[in-house]
A and B are shown apart, each in its own frame.
Chain A
Amino acid sequence: MKPAAFDYIRADSAEEVVQLLAEYGDDARILAGGQSLIAALNMRLAQPRVLIDISCVADLSRIRVGNKNLTVGAAVTQAVAEKVVQDSNNIPLLAQAFPHLGHFQTRNRGTVCGSIAHADPSAELPLCLVTLGGAVNLRSWRRRRRVAASEFFRGVLTTARETNELVESVEFPMPKKQARYGFVEVSMRHGDFALVALAGAVSDQGVRLGVGGVADRPWVETLPTTSGDDLDAALEDLAWKLDARSDQHASARYRRHLVRNLGRKLITELSS
């Protein structure tokens, strides 16, 4: 398990990164924290010609807690973001989700944007981003564009990002007043990818339930109510329509069971 050969470029600015992407396109991969990429290189699941290391790019290393959004730059590690979230004491969904995210040793290197760009359907951060209705800022040599999280994730490991684009930053909306947020995850072991992860946001405006680990992408559903038969029926529908798959760890039926039961439990807790 050793990587195939590649050229290595350590970029000093975002400008350089997008120029390099314009030059190499799909022949290049962005190396931010490398916690998924280098594992894939070691297994030779990826054999890019060029790695563009963005970990030292200062203008991508910014994280900002604003009034509307928590904006996280492409080189910001999960550990740094976790600390900011903990210190701000005001970003409840992410605060609950971070401890599930791999292990502190991988959060020390892994980046927030890397996890978003990788689009693993069981990963926690993409789930939080869609549940909160966040956005992804993409930048290419020619343009910048902002894509809503709900549009960004297209399927397993597949996103709206073009090969010449960099996920420059992501925006997690700050919590709404009066809204309550909750995150639950069932995994086989602590720190594993979720068998099912649920992220809930309950406010006067309604109930949003995000589901990870079931469909081919993180999914968010607006539910009609917070209790009763209508909620049960909506959850039943949701459980089925995500087209759950069976794998060696859990059956499709098990995943549907968790969506129904933990979904109801989470929403009930958030609305009580």
Chain B
Amino acid sequence: MNDPSTPVRPTAWVGQSIERREDVALLTGTGRYADDLGTRPGTLHAAFLRSPHAHARIKSIDVSRALAHEGVRCVLAGADVRSWARPFVVGVKQPMEHWCIAVDKARYVGEPVAVLVAQDRYIAEDAIDLIHVEYEPIDAIVDSETAIAPDAPVLHEAVGSNVVSNRQFVYGEPDAALDAAPHRVKIKIRYPRNSCTPIETYVVVAEHGSEGDYDVLSNFMGPFSLQAVMALALQVPAAKLRLRTPRDGGGSFGVKQGVFPYIVALCLAARKAQAPVKWVEDRLEHLVASTSSTGRISELEAAVDSNGRISALAYDQLDDCGAYLRAPEPATLYRMHGCLTGAYDIPNLKVRNRVVLTNKTPAGLVRGFGGPQVYFALERLVQRIAVELQLDPLEVYKRNFIGAGDFPFRTAAGALIDSGDYHATLQLAGQRGDLAELVEKRDAARAEGRLYGIGYAAIVEPSISNMGYITTVMTKEARAKAGPKNGAITSATVSIDLLGAVTVSVASVPHGQGHITALSQVAADVFGLNPIDIIVDVELDTRKDAWSVAEGNYSSRFAGAVAGTVHLAACRLRDKLARIAAAQLRCDHADIVFADHKVFARTAPAEALSFPRLASGPHWAPGVLPDGVSPGLQETAIWTPEQLVPPDENDRINTSGTYGFAFDICALEIERDSGKVRIDRYVTAHDAGTLLNPALADGQIRGGFAQALGAALMEEFAYRPDGSFASGTFADYLVPTAVEIPEPVIAHMQTPSPFTPLGAKGIGEGNSMSTPVCIANAIADALGPAVDPQAIELPMTPSRIIELIAPAEQRPQHIAPPPQGDGKHFATSGSVNIAAPVEEIFRVLHDPEQLASLIPGCRKLHVASDNRYIADIALSVGLVNVSFHADISVVDEEPMRRMRLFGKGSGALGAAEGDGRITLTELPDGTRLDYEYKVSLSGKIVAVGARMIESATGVVLKQLFSRLGRVAGHKASGAARWQGLLRLIGLGKPGSQERR
């Protein structure tokens, strides 16, 4: 019992769904989240100025008006960052510079351009609008396939291409297998950009110390390897960047990784301000610019025999990492590298991985990280194999699964899959979910012409990432030069205080998973105590805690690595106590039992010591410890799975320490009228090894399922073709609510991992991997084989579904076709009849005073050069008002007939450009004016108002030209209409400043 290498099972507390230790504080509003901790007196507040352009050179920044604003301390801009910091290191050798804020060029909408520090956040936001940045916009690249074209605009000129990594891998003999295969089944998929959008946004409080050190409180999910990345950027030794995180985190799901560039920016801002600086990200900032899953286009082909047995896979993966390769990218590609063959025994594999940069927010950790992308291709392919070979999909699964007797199983690309029984899990899912009934329902529904489908997904869920997997992106020569990287080092400290109570201390940075509860269960078992007796300290302080490069909240490493290491540390401390107790009880230490708060010899339970009494003793009397027992009651265990070695010469890599499994079944119906998807039943069967607390595990499944359902049906970061971002609010980035999320049927298998101390594996990411593709497969099944498989694209919105199934439509002849935009601009057009001759209209448009009176909201207009004007405009549409500077020019194309009225402007809400052609046609009693406009808008106004922006622009243009009609018509018709016009449009005299 005292041998820590022999896990103690079954035990009293581990495996029970006890109530959470965390909950009382959280339910009574007394949680301690990052924004709740208070700050030093004199702490200032930051706001970020962000680029409204997807791609633009920064010509100049003028901060003088902002600095003059009362309450403003300083502005940090590119020049400061250049002198105090360095660009972040990146995972591939390319001459790319990613600074904590943009220094010469902005490469995505929302990229920080300056940090303003002021007395409070309200003032900071007042002043941020006073900074004037001159941008020179460049064509933006949004689509990753366009970005790889040779003539595409390049984001990072020094690289010379938008493809920043291109690697090919061959395992076994895939080409021979593909050539020999009786069937080749192929699929092309696109995985969208989305995120888990925790409800708590990023929070950072940074301070610059007197020794050039930085002290940061934040809700970052690490320290992780990124602590070093930040220290290098700040040009300080790692120890001079102290990171602290609070007890409670408001959800991470990987997403809180994306705070790290902000930590560096705010450290520099604090240095400039010479005061602590606090920043709480707002939701708009979070949606537009925090992070995103990696978008992917995959082509995947399988060599298949007539029974559905797969002998080879060929992947071509193109990852859209956004504007910068931000660490740890391109890890989305490589985290899954070892298990690209999924749950299947497939000996031959080839892979091409390309990473492309586009004008979007940099990609980063998002729950499932790499898994949703891989399995969306692989599991859609399995569905296609069943369809094309006319097989029951379950047969395809059974014929390809790794056999229950084959574990640990080495995959083609090098993963060592530790344990499982995939056939039995499939069976369990079918039974628990009553698959037979679902099939009957489908048959009945189809007989009535309804769209009912069943989908499946089988996924291997990796956890405890190998820190060396990312080096697979390098060639073996480059790896040899760089030195080996591997392992998943984990630390835990267990100590006993002066009165004999046990404290567990970890660097796991929980964000709601219940680490305190689970660790108190683990430690209680070891010491024979109750979980409530165990103090668990999850606050992180990189100055004081035992931690190393792999530490943090990611890759589902808690159950396997952190809880396992706590178990090891606790066992070591207990072993020490057993030796002390053995001396007192005069027995062998191997016979000492810890149970019910007591310590006794197995042979003499009546002669028991109380745990606190025994455990506190060594503090008070270290001089009388038995021989060979060192003083002190604190043990730190440091563990790394020995199976995690660096990639070998053939690029084989065991990407994770342990691998769970999930098999899902989804039955759903699609409403023909609306295209809405109704989930009839969702079944998810998991094998995550030993479950520490089944209720916590189920919580992870339900939460992962809900996020994945969002990804499948509604969530997407939408970019318009010009790179503007259209999902800036929670009204447009659609997180599912309680009405949209059904209750899944959950089943568990427990095949303990032989590689983790407690036999546990991760469980939090499985549904992020399985559910999107399982739902997609069910939709494909419901829509039937006639629908193009490639058109099953996430999120599968009702609109996308109707586009696939609705009959073709034809516009009636009497309805005029709507104006067509060119993708990057939208078009709007109209016409007005004006009671004035063509000449008069021409004259008005060339008269600055008159022009000023035409432009809605024009407050000031001055002539810059011939027919070119600079104007201050304050537009109102409903309750919205928008102020901006505009540069307007009038170009005659054909005198008295055609002209262009061109304008571009920018302001706090974004940038706009309108290029319009006006055509004048003489009528018997005046002139008809036709206008056709191409308009592009970017920045905040699109992010928050995409739904109405085009109509609103139409309203403004209509106002402009009807005013033209009135002004020119008034000139022509003389005094009779003078009074009426005045009343109608509120003009004092022509050319006066008006607002309406």
B partners with A: yes
| Known contacts A43-B284, A189-B740, A163 near B951 by CB under 8 Å | no
Q: Are A156 and B811 in contact (CB under 8 A)?
A: no
Q: Are B126 and A1 in contact (CB under 8 A)?
A: no
Partner of A122, one of B673, B806, B947: B947
The segment from A130-138, A142-150, A247-255 found at the interface with B is: A247-255
Q: Are A44 and B731 in contact (CB under 8 A)?
A: no
The segment from B6-14, B248-256, B797-805 found at the interface with A is: B797-805
Distance of A80 Cα from B729 Cα, bound (Å) = 28
> Is A265 part of the binding interface, using a Cβ–Cβ cutoff of 8 Å?
yes
Q: Are B739 and A45 in contact (CB under 8 A)?
A: no
Q: Are A262 and B740 in contact (CB under 8 A)?
A: no
The segment from B443-451, B749-757, B864-872, B874-882 found at the interface with A is: B874-882
The segment from B699-707, B891-899, B938-946 found at the interface with A is: B938-946
Q: Are B881 and A47 in contact (CB under 8 A)?
A: yes
In chain B between 802 and 846, which residues have their CB closer than 8 angstroms to a CB of chain A? 802-803, 806, 809, 811-812, 815, 818
| Known contacts A121-B951, A240-B812, A26 near B996 by CB under 8 Å | yes
> Is A94 part of the binding interface, using a Cβ–Cβ cutoff of 8 Å?
no
Give the size category of A's interface with B.
35 or more
Contacts of B876 in A (CB 8 A): 26
* A94-117 contact mask (Cβ, 8 Å, vs B): 1 or 0: 000000000000000000000000
Q: Which residue of A lies closest to B736 (CB)?
A: A189
Partner of A45, one of B122, B674, B882, B996: B882
Contacts of A158 in B (CB 8 A): 877-878, 955
| Known contacts A1-B283, A45-B909, A190-B737, A29 near B878 by CB under 8 Å | no
Partner of B947, one of A26, A163, A186, A193: A193
Partner of B798, one of A45, A120, A155, A186: A186
| Known contacts A240-B812, A254-B798, A46 near B879 by CB under 8 Å | yes
Q: Are B946 and A248 in contact (CB under 8 A)?
A: yes
Q: Are A155 and B951 in contact (CB under 8 A)?
A: yes
Q: Are B954 and A254 in contact (CB under 8 A)?
A: no
Most chain A beta carbons < 10 A, residue from B675, B726, B806, B878? B878
Q: Are B674 and A191 in contact (CB under 8 A)?
A: no
| Known contacts A121-B948, A188-B734, A253-B803, A248 near B878 by CB under 8 Å | no
Q: Are B879 and A262 in contact (CB under 8 A)?
A: no
Partner of B880, one of A5, A157, A163, A240: A157
Q: Are B877 and A250 in contact (CB under 8 A)?
A: no
Q: Which residue of B lies closest to A156 (CB)?
A: B951
Q: Are A247 and B734 in contact (CB under 8 A)?
A: no
Q: Which residue of A lies closest to B282 (CB)?
A: A1
Query: Shortest beta-carbon distance, B401 to chain A, in Å?
Result: 37
| Known contacts A44-B908, A157-B879, A254-B798, A243 near B740 by CB under 8 Å | no
Q: Are B803 and A190 in contact (CB under 8 A)?
A: no
Distance of A214 Cα from B797 Cα, bound (Å) = 17
Distance of A245 Cα from B958 Cα, bound (Å) = 17
Query: Shortest beta-carbon distance, A90 to chain B, in Å?
Result: 28
Q: Are A248 and B726 in contact (CB under 8 A)?
A: yes
In chain B between 915 and 956, which residues have their CB closer than 8 angstroms to a CB of chain A? 940-941, 944-948, 950-952, 954-955
> Is A13 part of the binding interface, using a Cβ–Cβ cutoff of 8 Å?
no
Partner of A4, one of B126, B812, B948: B126
| Known contacts A189-B736, A248-B716, A248-B726, A243 near B877 by CB under 8 Å | no
In chain A between 217 and 272, which residues have their CB closer than 8 angstroms to a CB of chain B? 236-237, 240-241, 243, 245, 247-254, 256-258, 261-262, 265
Query: Shortest beta-carbon distance, A39 to chain B, in Å?
Result: 8
> Is B538 part of the binding interface, using a Cβ–Cβ cutoff of 8 Å?
no
> Is B121 part of the binding interface, using a Cβ–Cβ cutoff of 8 Å?
yes
> Is B104 part of the binding interface, using a Cβ–Cβ cutoff of 8 Å?
no
Contacts of B726 in A (CB 8 A): 247-248
Q: Are B802 and A188 in contact (CB under 8 A)?
A: no
Contacts of B121 in A (CB 8 A): 2
Distance of A157 Cα from B880 Cα, bound (Å) = 8
Contacts of B806 in A (CB 8 A): 253, 257
| Known contacts A29-B879, A45-B882, A192-B731, A186 near B951 by CB under 8 Å | no
Q: Which residue of B lies closest to A192 (CB)?
A: B731
Q: Are A156 and B731 in contact (CB under 8 A)?
A: no
Q: Are A155 and B955 in contact (CB under 8 A)?
A: yes
Contacts of A40 in B (CB 8 A): 879-880
Q: Which residue of B lies closest to A2 (CB)?
A: B122
Most chain A beta carbons < 10 A, residue from B125, B716, B739, B951? B951
Query: Shortest beta-carbon distance, B50 to chain A, in Å?
Result: 13
Partner of A189, one of B284, B714, B879, B950: B714
Q: Are A118 and B879 in contact (CB under 8 A)?
A: yes
Q: Are B797 and A250 in contact (CB under 8 A)?
A: yes
Query: Shortest beta-carbon distance, B725 to chain A, in Å?
Result: 10
Distance of A262 Cα from B945 Cα, bound (Å) = 27
> Is A86 part of the binding interface, using a Cβ–Cβ cutoff of 8 Å?
no
> Is B96 part of the binding interface, using a Cβ–Cβ cutoff of 8 Å?
no
* B252-272 contact mask (Cβ, 8 Å, vs A): 1 or 0: 000000000000000000000
* B659-694 contact mask (Cβ, 8 Å, vs A): 1 or 0: 000000000000001111000000000000000000
> Is A70 part of the binding interface, using a Cβ–Cβ cutoff of 8 Å?
no
> Is B732 part of the binding interface, using a Cβ–Cβ cutoff of 8 Å?
yes
> Is A203 part of the binding interface, using a Cβ–Cβ cutoff of 8 Å?
no
> Is A69 part of the binding interface, using a Cβ–Cβ cutoff of 8 Å?
no
* B969-996 contact mask (Cβ, 8 Å, vs A): 1 or 0: 0000000000000000000000000011
> Is B727 part of the binding interface, using a Cβ–Cβ cutoff of 8 Å?
yes
Q: Which residue of A lies closest to B129 (CB)?
A: A44
| Known contacts A118-B878, A157-B880, A248-B946, A216 near B797 by CB under 8 Å | no
Q: Are B877 and A254 in contact (CB under 8 A)?
A: no
> Is A119 part of the binding interface, using a Cβ–Cβ cutoff of 8 Å?
yes
Query: Shortest beta-carbon distance, A211 to chain B, in Å?
Result: 15
Query: Shortest beta-carbon distance, A114 to chain B, in Å?
Result: 10
Distance of A243 Cα from B122 Cα, bound (Å) = 41
Q: Are B740 and A190 in contact (CB under 8 A)?
A: yes
Distance of A249 Cα from B731 Cα, bound (Å) = 11
Q: Which residue of B lies closest to A239 (CB)?
A: B809
| Known contacts A1-B283, A44-B125, A156 near B674 by CB under 8 Å | no
> Is B389 part of the binding interface, using a Cβ–Cβ cutoff of 8 Å?
no
Partner of A240, one of B718, B797, B815: B815
Distance of A241 Cα from B736 Cα, bound (Å) = 33
Partner of A241, one of B731, B802, B815: B815
Contacts of B940 in A (CB 8 A): 43
> Is A19 part of the binding interface, using a Cβ–Cβ cutoff of 8 Å?
no
Partner of A193, one of B731, B812, B909: B731
Q: Which residue of B lies closest to A262 (CB)?
A: B673
> Is A61 part of the binding interface, using a Cβ–Cβ cutoff of 8 Å?
no
* A174-193 contact mask (Cβ, 8 Å, vs B): 1 or 0: 00000000000010111111
Query: Shortest beta-carbon distance, A69 to chain B, in Å?
Result: 26
Contacts of B125 in A (CB 8 A): 1-2, 4, 44
Contacts of A43 in B (CB 8 A): 284, 729, 940, 944
> Is A21 part of the binding interface, using a Cβ–Cβ cutoff of 8 Å?
no
Contacts of B877 in A (CB 8 A): 156-158
Most chain B beta carbons < 10 A, residue from A121, A245, A261? A245
Partner of B945, one of A45, A190, A192, A248: A45
Distance of A53 Cα from B939 Cα, bound (Å) = 31
Q: Are A247 and B946 in contact (CB under 8 A)?
A: yes
Contacts of B714 in A (CB 8 A): 188-189
Q: Are A216 and B951 in contact (CB under 8 A)?
A: yes
Question: Other than the known A4-B125, A157-B877, what 18 A-B pairs have Cβ atoms closer than 8 Å?
Answer: A2-B122, A40-B879, A40-B880, A45-B879, A45-B909, A45-B941, A46-B879, A118-B879, A121-B948, A121-B951, A156-B877, A189-B734, A241-B815, A245-B950, A248-B732, A249-B732, A250-B799, A257-B675
Task: Please name 9 pairs of A and B residues whose Cβ atoms are closer than 8 Å in the assembled complex, sorted by A.
Answer: A37-B879, A156-B877, A157-B952, A186-B674, A189-B736, A216-B951, A243-B818, A248-B732, A262-B673
Residues of chain A whose beta carbon lies under 8 Å from any beta carbon of chain B: 1-5, 26, 29, 36-37, 40, 43-48, 118-122, 155-159, 163, 186, 188-193, 195, 216, 236-237, 240-241, 243, 245, 247-254, 256-258, 261-262, 265
